[in-house]
């Protein structure tokens, strides 16, 4: 059976391809028509070929389970998602504006704390934050930038507008899959490229990343030594660590490969020690240096923090940057943008309620079954409550947790995520998606064209995390029709 857009039914949700049954939105028309031109067998063949390519190319991610860690093939749906160039240019500006403001905020928090003195953000919120690192006070990293790599999660609401769901400023992952998804799509639908669409390329991300990282080097040398620090092969994002190191031509190092002497960082090579200038660390703050943070950490490097504070090595992202990556601080971002940049936010937040505020907490507790509740600093969708889908027991449990620790929770109305079609075994069906673009800031800033689209593969589900069964899509930023 061929694709039939008349029976494709996104229901009340905003669908990015189909505006009403049988009618594709303008930029998506050629894609919709092309998909309809293929027979069911042709489509399924392409699907199988893409799956095989992913397996052979070794695009994988690791799932933690009781039975040990399993290396799984990366799940990707072959139908691409479209975003128009003009829409993206605007979104891109919004992302840069946001990261610039967040970096001003982090720098201020660890130095003058003006925003706290001016009472725009309550001081207690920062001091109580699990992501505030007092050891970083007084530090002035190059360009005053702390969060060099940011993965912002965006969603599209019923109105078709992008909203910011969260800012990931610690060790956001997924960018390698963005690049690899494109490589797979080129193999799968070569006929759509150039003939039908002019699609902005994404493959230069590693080069942009290397430029940015090199710009952070404390030593003024032509080719600074840039390394990627990974927790190791058992980490869920190991594929990405290795991928980025390979594409940048940087060394992929583990804690055991590095050693600090006289507050300088060296790596152990076959020809002895060799100095390191920039570390793109994919290890959480708490584990980077057992002398300063978690004493039991075997992933990190003793003395690394001091080497950084002395300005002998750059860390990206800087320790402590996570203070702005907190679901409570998130709610203050519009004020933060105004405060530092004196501009209106280009991208809107999803409306949120803070449980630490008495009247807002009251509202949350009374409407728990309609809201999504998130803890301040969990990631990967863990520890969340989706009110409308929760059992009475779960609701009661969260009521208890919020009362016990209001600082740690915020709530948002259940936003209707937009849908895009996925290719099922028999028909094309709508599924909910989000988008994670990646933003770089060093001596200059950069936004990926598009980003990683994550898709909930289960009908009606909002859970897009790959660790919980979500899939992904190639994301095309195309010229306006």
Partner 1 sequence: MLLSRVAERVYWQARYLERAENVARLLHVFSALQLDLPKGTKLGWQTLVQITGHEEQFAEKYKQENERNVVRFLLAERNGISLVDMLAFARENARTTREIMPTEAFELINGLYYFARDNAEAGISRAERNEVLDQIVSRSQQIGGLMAGTMSRDEAYSFVRLGRSLERADMTTRIVDVDSQKLMPELDVEDAEPEAREPYDNILWMNVLRSSSAYQMYRQHVRERINGEDVVRFLLQNEQFPRSTAHNLTTMTKVLRNLPNSNKVNWQVNKTRKLVRDADVNRLLRRGLVRHLDSVQKEIAQVHFKIADTWFLPGNS
7 contributes a contact to partner 1 by CB under 8 A: no
Choosing from 203, 207, 233, 458, the residue that interacts with partner 1 (CB under 8 A) is 233
**Can you tell me whether residue 153 is helix, strand or coil?**
strand
Among 174, 238, 181, 191, which Cα is nearest to 53's?
Answer: 181
- At CA 261, angle to CA 257 and CA 265, rounded to 5? 50
245 contributes a contact to partner 1 by CB under 8 A: yes
Q: Which span (11-19, 162-170, 253-261, 455-463) binds partner 1, by CB under 8 A?
A: 253-261
Could you tell me the smallest distance in angstroms from the CB atom of residue 57 to partner 1?
Answer: 6
Q: How far apart are CA 68 and CA 71, in angstroms?
A: 10
Among 412, 413, 436, 425, which Cα is nearest to 459's?
Answer: 425
Nearer to partner 1, 57 or 395 (CB): 57
Could you tell me the smallest distance in angstroms from the CB atom of residue 274 to partner 1?
Answer: 5
DSSP count for the chain of H helices, then E strands = 13, 25
Choosing from 51, 257, 335, 429, the residue that interacts with partner 1 (CB under 8 A) is 257
391 contributes a contact to partner 1 by CB under 8 A: no
Choosing from 7, 246, 362, 367, the residue that interacts with partner 1 (CB under 8 A) is 246
Residues 197-216 that bind partner 1 (CB under 8 A): none
Could you tell me the smallest distance in angstroms from the CB atom of residue 289 to partner 1?
Answer: 20
**Binding-site string for partner 1 from residue 46 to residue 85, where x marks contact by CB under 8 A and - marks none:** ---------xxxx---------------------------
Q: How far apart are CA 183 and CA 177, in angstroms?
A: 10
Could you tell me the smallest distance in angstroms from the CB atom of residue 306 to partner 1?
Answer: 23
266 contributes a contact to partner 1 by CB under 8 A: no
Could you tell me the smallest distance in angstroms from the CB atom of residue 41 to partner 1?
Answer: 24
Helix (H) or strand (E) holding 353: strand 353-354
Helix axes 175-188, 205-214, angle to 10 degrees: 150
Q: Which span (266-274, 323-331, 337-345, 386-394) binds partner 1, by CB under 8 A?
A: 266-274
Radius of gyration of the chain (CA): 23
Q: How far apart are CA 475 and CA 214, in angstroms?
A: 28
20 contributes a contact to partner 1 by CB under 8 A: no
Nearer to partner 1, 94 or 206 (CB): 206
252 contributes a contact to partner 1 by CB under 8 A: yes
384 contributes a contact to partner 1 by CB under 8 A: no
**Binding-site string for partner 1 from residue 324 to residue 353, where x marks contact by CB under 8 A and - marks none:** ------------------------------
Sequence-ordered list of residues with C-beta below 8 angstroms from that of 300, at least 6 positions apart, any chain = 255, 283, 287, 288, 289, 290, 293, 294
22 contributes a contact to partner 1 by CB under 8 A: no
Nearer to partner 1, 224 or 345 (CB): 224
CA 124 vs. chain centroid, Å, equals 27
Torsion of CA 132, 135, 137, 141, to 10 degrees: -100
First to last CA, the chain: 29
Sequence-ordered list of residues with C-beta below 8 angstroms from that of 167, at least 6 positions apart, any chain = 98, 99, 102, 150, 152, 153, 324, 325, 330, 333
Residues 274-313 that bind partner 1 (CB under 8 A): 274
196 contributes a contact to partner 1 by CB under 8 A: no
Q: How far apart are CA 361 and CA 410, in angstroms?
A: 9
253 contributes a contact to partner 1 by CB under 8 A: yes
Residues in touch with partner 1 (CB under 8 A): 55-58, 228, 233, 242-243, 245-246, 250-254, 256-257, 267-272, 274
């Amino acid at each position: 059976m061929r694709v039939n857009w008349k029976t494709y039914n996104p229901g009340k949700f905003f669908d990015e391809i189909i505006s009403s049954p049988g009618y594709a939105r303008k930029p998506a028309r050629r894609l919709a028509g092309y998909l309809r031109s293929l027979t069911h067998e042709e489509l399924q063949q392409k699907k199988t070929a893409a799956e095989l390519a992913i397996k052979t190319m070794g695009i994988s991610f690791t799932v933690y389970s009781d039975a040990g860690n399993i290396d799984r093939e990366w799940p990707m749906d072959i139908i691409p998602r479209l975003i128009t160039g003009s829409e993206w240019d605007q979104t891109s500006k919004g992302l840069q504006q946001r990261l610039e403001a967040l970096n001003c905020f982090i720098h201020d928090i660890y130095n003058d704390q003006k925003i706290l003195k001016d009472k725009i953000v309550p001081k207690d919120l920062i001091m109580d934050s699990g992501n505030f690192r007092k050891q970083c006070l007084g530090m002035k990293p190059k360009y005053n930038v702390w969060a060099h790599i940011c993965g912002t999660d965006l969603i599209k609401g019923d109105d078709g507008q992008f909203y910011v769901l969260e800012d990931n400023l610690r060790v956001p992952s997924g960018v390698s899959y963005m690049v690899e998804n494109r490589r797979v799509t080129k193999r799968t639908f070569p006929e759509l490229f150039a003939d039908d669409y002019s699609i902005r390329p994404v493959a230069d991300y590693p080069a942009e990343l290397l430029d940015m990282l090199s710009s952070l080097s404390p030593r003024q040398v032509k080719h600074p030594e840039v390394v990627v620090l990974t927790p190791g092969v058992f980490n869920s994002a190991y594929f990405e660590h290795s991928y980025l190191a390979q594409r940048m031509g940087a060394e992929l190092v583990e804690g055991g490969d590095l050693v600090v002497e006289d507050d300088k960082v060296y790596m152990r090579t076959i020809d002895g020690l060799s100095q390191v200038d920039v570390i793109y660390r994919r290890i959480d703050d708490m584990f980077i240096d057992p002398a300063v943070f978690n004493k039991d950490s075997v992933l990190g490097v003793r003395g690394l923090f001091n080497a950084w504070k002395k300005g002998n090595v750059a860390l990206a992202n800087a320790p402590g940057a996570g203070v702005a990556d907190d679901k409570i601080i998130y709610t203050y971002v519009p004020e933060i943008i105004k405060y530092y940049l004196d501009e209106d936010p280009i991208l809107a937040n999803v409306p949120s309620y803070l449980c630490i505020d008495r009247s807002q907490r009251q509202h949350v507790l009374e409407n728990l079954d309609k809201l999504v509740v998130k803890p301040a600093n969990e990631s990967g969708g863990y520890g969340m409550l989706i009110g409308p889908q929760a059992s009475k027991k779960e609701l009661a449990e969260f009521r208890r947790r919020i009362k016990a620790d209001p600082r740690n929770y915020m709530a948002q109305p259940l936003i209707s995520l937009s849908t895009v079609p996925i290719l099922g075994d028999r028909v094309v069906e709508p599924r909910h998606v989000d988008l994670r673009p990646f933003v770089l800031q060093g001596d200059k800033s950069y936004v990926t064209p598009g980003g990683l689209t994550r898709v909930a593969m289960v009908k009606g589900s909002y859970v897009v995390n790959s660790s919980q069964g979500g899939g992904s899509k190639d994301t095309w930023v195309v010229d306006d029709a």
